């Protein structure tokens, strides 16, 4: 990543100097040096998304043409620790995926390049004569190699080795980000399992008790409530669904509130007002429902009655969703402790953690509360985030 930043700064300086020269002289055709610079920048940029998906035969095949452009080598290859994943350029007819990693010694150490001035190839007429192999290091361990190969008689220069090393650093950085993404996803799934384990006993007991109360007095209502209960639990405990649209989440929040109204009747008042343009924003599953459940438990249950408002609106590129109750409230210091995970339930902290691991520390929850004045929990998230999709 430092390499990419350095290259971008260097290109920016060169481009600025080039622009200044153009102001001092008549317009002319773009120089070959600047055009090569633009080509290299394009090659570095377009291969990043594929590398972010990890090192595989498919991703290697897609990025190698760009790596060849970046290094200006006769051929390039990406491999795991022993075999070629993909090969591009001169000699592709006999250097192919699945073969041993090029007839050049693999990097002896994870932090060093290996320069081979004369490679050996049994294939007659192989045009390749020299190579630079650079290690791909992820999490401090050797994950593979990037090899740049040059034609016979071509002398490898310090610029060649530096370019290959920096390209390998760029590849390694993207692979490292893939590992970080996977770790964050595992953590998010573990937190979701913890949240499901927490809400299930409380919710199931209350919902079934409410349904049981209607079995004799209003069987039709009991059947409808049982359907609502089944749909909600299917949504809440479905395993492979980390993200949903806000519309989906609110749909099942309404099912949850329908079951709570079966308990409280007219003592529970609900107002839902969400701008249509924010409904397709993507949220972690069960990120709004715990906020509403807290409003019911700490607002309505403690007073015996109450009002809950769910209001959503868009603010530029973000979505703001407020869940407000008129319950007993709490001291502001206590609200800060709850959000920090000190002495409160895991629901709020769980939602906060998943929001911030998904969207970054600039997003998440805020709590405003005062004794006997109720509580407002505000969720802020982006309307769109690359790589975060609803299932």
For residue 357, pLDDT over 80 is answered with: yes
- Residues 6 or more apart from 17 whose CB is under 8 A from it? none
Residue 389 maps to a domain: no
In terms of phi and psi (left: phi > 0; alpha: psi -120 to 50; beta: otherwise), the region of 148 is: beta
Once rounded to an integer, what is the mean pLDDT over residues 31-56? Answer: 59
User: 85 and 152: one domain?
Assistant: yes
pTM of the predicted model as reported, rounded to 2 decimal places: 0.54
Residue 42 maps to a domain: yes
For residue 319, pLDDT over 70 is answered with: yes
Alpha-carbon distance of 104 to 120, in angstroms, equals: 7
Greater model confidence, 22 or 124: 124
Would the CA dihedral through 15, 19, 25, 29 be positive or negative? positive
Q: Which of 177-191, 228-242, 252-266, 317-331 has the lowest mean pLDDT?
A: 177-191
- Residues 6 or more apart from 316 whose CB is under 8 A from it? none
How many domains is the chain built from? Answer: 2
Residue 230 maps to a domain: yes
For residue 217, pLDDT over 80 is answered with: yes
User: 372 and 239: one domain?
Assistant: yes
Helix or strand or coil: residue 364? strand
Once rounded to an integer, what is the mean pLDDT over residues 32-46? Answer: 52
Show contacts of 343-348: CB within 8 Å, 24+ apart: 345/198, 345/294, 346/194, 346/195, 346/198, 347/195, 347/198, 347/199, 347/290, 347/291, 347/293, 347/294, 348/290, 348/291, 348/294, 348/377
User: 133 and 82: one domain?
Assistant: yes
Strand order in the sheet with 306-315: 268-274, 306-315, 318-325, 375-382, 364-369
Identify the pLDDT of residue 125.
Answer: 82
Residue ending a domain, among 179, 200, 232, is 179
Alpha-carbon distance of 110 to 144, in angstroms, equals: 9
Alpha-carbon distance of 187 to 184, in angstroms, equals: 5
Identify the pLDDT of residue 238.
Answer: 65
| CATH number, position 125 | 3.30.450.40
111 pLDDT band, cuts 50/70/90, is: low
User: 48 and 153: one domain?
Assistant: yes
Residue 187 maps to a domain: no
Q: How many CB atoms lie within 10 A of CB 222?
A: 18
- Residues 6 or more apart from 376 whose CB is under 8 A from it? 322, 323, 324, 367, 368, 369
Identify the pLDDT of residue 344.
Answer: 62
Note down the domain range covering 262: 213-382
User: 174 and 235: one domain?
Assistant: no
4 pLDDT band, cuts 50/70/90, is: very low
Tokens of 60: 């290697």
DSSP H or E run through 347:
helix 346-359
| CATH number, position 267 | 3.30.565.10
For residue 367, pLDDT over 50 is answered with: yes
Alpha-carbon distance of 225 to 231, in angstroms, equals: 10
Rg (CA), the chain: 29
Residue 201 maps to a domain: no
Identify the pLDDT of residue 9.
Answer: 34
User: 263 and 350: one domain?
Assistant: yes
Tokens of 229: 């209960």
Residue 198 maps to a domain: no
pLDDT digits (tens, 9 = 90+) for 154-175: 888 888 888 888 888 888 877 7
The residue among 249, 252, 239 whose CA lies nearest residue 282 is: 249
Tokens of 90: 């001169």
The residue among 140, 146, 103, 98 whose CA lies nearest residue 121 is: 103
pLDDT digits (tens, 9 = 90+) for 240-297: 568 899 999 999 999 989 988 888 889 999 999 999 999 999 998 889 998 998 898 8
5: exposed, middle or buried (C-beta count within 10 Å: 0-12, 13-18, 19+)?
exposed
Alpha-carbon distance of 98 to 172, in angstroms, equals: 21
Residue 186 maps to a domain: no
User: 170 and 219: one domain?
Assistant: no
6 pLDDT band, cuts 50/70/90, is: very low
User: 175 and 217: one domain?
Assistant: no
């Amino acid at each position: 990543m430092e390499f990419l930043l350095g290259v971008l700064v260097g290109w920016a300086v060169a481009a600025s100097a080039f622009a200044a020269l153009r102001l001092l002289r008549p317009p002319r055709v773009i120089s070959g040096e600047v055009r090569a610079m633009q080509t290299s920048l394009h090659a570095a940029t377009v291969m990043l998304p594929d590398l972010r998906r990890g090192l595989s035969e498919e991703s290697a095949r897609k990025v190698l043409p760009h790596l060849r452009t970046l290094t200006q080598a006769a051929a390039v290859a990406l491999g795991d620790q022993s075999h070629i994943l993909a090969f591009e350029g001169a000699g592709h007819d006999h250097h192919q995926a699945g073969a041993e990693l090029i007839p050049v010694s693999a990097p002896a150490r994870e932090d060093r390049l290996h320069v081979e001035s004369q490679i050996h190839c049994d294939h007659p007429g192989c045009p390749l004569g020299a190579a630079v192999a650079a290690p791909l290091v992820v999490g401090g361990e050797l994950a593979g190699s990037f090899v740049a190969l040059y034609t016979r008689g071509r002398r490898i220069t310090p610029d060649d080795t530096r370019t290959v090393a920096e390209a390998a650093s760029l590849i390694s950085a993207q692979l490292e980000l893939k590992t970080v993404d996977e770790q964050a996803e595992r953590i998010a799934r573990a937190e979701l399992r913890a949240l499901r384990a927490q809400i299930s006993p409380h919710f199931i007991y209350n919902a079934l008790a409410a349904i049981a109360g209607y079995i004799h007095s209003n069987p039709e209502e009991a059947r409808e409530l049982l359907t609502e209960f089944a749909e909600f639990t299917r949504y809440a405990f479905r395993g492979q669904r980390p993200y949903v649209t806000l519309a989906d989440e609110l749909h099942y929040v309404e099912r949850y509130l329908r079951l709570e109204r079966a308990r409280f009747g007219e003592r529970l008042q609900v107002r839902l007002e969400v701008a249509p343009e924010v409904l397709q924003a993507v949220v972690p599953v069960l990120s709004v429902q715990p906020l509403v459940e807290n409003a019911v438990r700490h607002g309505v249950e403690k007073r015996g009655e109450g009002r809950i408002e769910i209001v959503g609106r868009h603010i530029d590129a973000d979505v703001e969703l407020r869940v407000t109750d008129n319950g007993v409230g709490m001291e502001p210091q206590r609200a800060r402790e709850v959000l920090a995970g000190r002495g409160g339930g895991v629901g709020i902290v769980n939602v906060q953690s998943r929001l911030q691991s998904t969207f970054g520390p600039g997003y998440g929850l805020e709590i405003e509360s005062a004794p006997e004045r109720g509580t407002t929990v505000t969720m802020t998230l982006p309307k769109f985030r690359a790589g975060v999709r609803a299932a």
